[in-house]
Amino acid sequence: MRIYYAALEGFEPSRAIARGRRGTALSALAWSLLLWALRREGLETLPETGLDARGRPCFPGREDIRFSLSHTEGWALCALGRAPLGADVQRISPRDEAFAARLMSGREREDFTLHELWCLRESVYKLAGEGDLRAMRFCRRGGVIVPPLEGVACRLYGEVPGCAAAAAAMGPERLPDALERAETRELMTNI
């Protein structure tokens, strides 16, 4: 598995190498990041896209390619692998203690920031395709993140400036130690 991120700053959606699915600059950035990552793996075009039975974007007929996209204010993230995976990025913003107390258990508040926990929950949700985000419970044991689903591995990342990021994987897929940054100019055509 590889996980890439890119900045929206300097990105021109009209020059994007891939069209977004939501008509926004961040969506175009995320899908362009996916195409860029696939090109690094030897595919020149996006395979036909669709939705799986749980409503997640996928490449029907290409079970050997799994991906997860996320975007937040100013950034996009793309995880690409061969086994089920999920990834999320969230801009860190001030939140009050009462809000955090409603979403986090006491143990979670000791082990994670609100944004880290939310990224972990989103990553596992994207991986599993089901569940109640607010009911998912995580903890750390010996420095290792323990997710609510057996057989799932999770990891937090701090490379995206001003953001929390996380990924979750199942099966033989190994989570990378670090994210890789894609240069925004590489996600646009040279018109």
- For the chain, which residues make up each domain, given as ranges? 2-187
Does the structure show a pLDDT above 60 at 69? yes
8 Å CB contact between 166 and 154:
yes
Q: What is the mean pLDDT of residues 166-182?
A: 93
Query: Considering the chain, what percentage of its residues have pLDDT values greater than 70?
Result: 99
17 DSSP assignment = S
pTM as predicted: 0.93
Quick check: 24 pLDDT over 80? Answer: yes
What is the arithmetic mean of pLDDT over 64-87?
96
Alpha helices in the chain (DSSP H): 25-40, 97-103, 106-111, 114-128
In whole angstroms, give the CA distance from residue 61 to residue 57.
13
Q: Take residue 114 and report the two structure tokens written for it.
A: 């609100």
Closest by CA to 127, choosing from 165, 89, 83, is 83
At position 9, the amino acid (one-letter code) is E
How sure is the predictor about 22, in pLDDT bands with cuts at 50, 70 and 90? Answer: confident
Q: Greater confidence, 131 or 146?
A: 146
pLDDT, residue 191, reads 53
CATH 3.90.470.20 given to domain 2-187: yes
